[in-house]
Structure 1
Amino acid sequence: MPANQELPHPDIADVALTDVLFALSDPARLQIVRDLSSGPLEMAQCGATNPTLPKSTKSHLMKVLREAGVIRNEPRGRERLVSLRREELDATFPGLLDSVLGASRG
Structure 2
Amino acid sequence: MTASGARVLAHPSLAEIRVEHVLHALADPIRLRIVRQMAVASDGLTCSHFVLPVAKSTLTHHFRVLRESGVIHQIYRGTAKMNELRGDDLEKLFPGLLDGVLRAADHEAARLAGS
TM-score (norm 1): 0.90
Q: Give the structure with higher Rg (CA).
A: 2
* Structure with larger RCO (C-alpha < 8 A, sep 6+): 1
Runs of 4+ in 1 over 2 A off after TM superposition: none
Unaligned runs of 5+ in 2: 1-5, 108-115
Q: CA RMSD in A?
A: 1.0
TM-score (norm 2): 0.83
1:76 corresponds in structure 2 to 77
Whether 1:42 aligns to 2:49 is no
1:29 maps to amino acid: R
Where do 1:49-64 residues align within 5 Å?
Answer: 50=52, 52-64=53-65
1: CA distance, partners of 2:7 / 2:60: 14
Q: CA deviation at 1:12?
A: 1.3
Whether 1:99 aligns to 2:111 is no
Q: CA deviation at 1:6?
A: 0.9
Q: Which structure dedicates a bigger proportion of its chain to helix?
A: 2
Unaligned runs of 5+ in 1: none
Whether 1:87 aligns to 2:88 is yes
1:43 maps to amino acid: C
What percent of counterpart residues are identical?
41
1:23 corresponds in structure 2 to 25
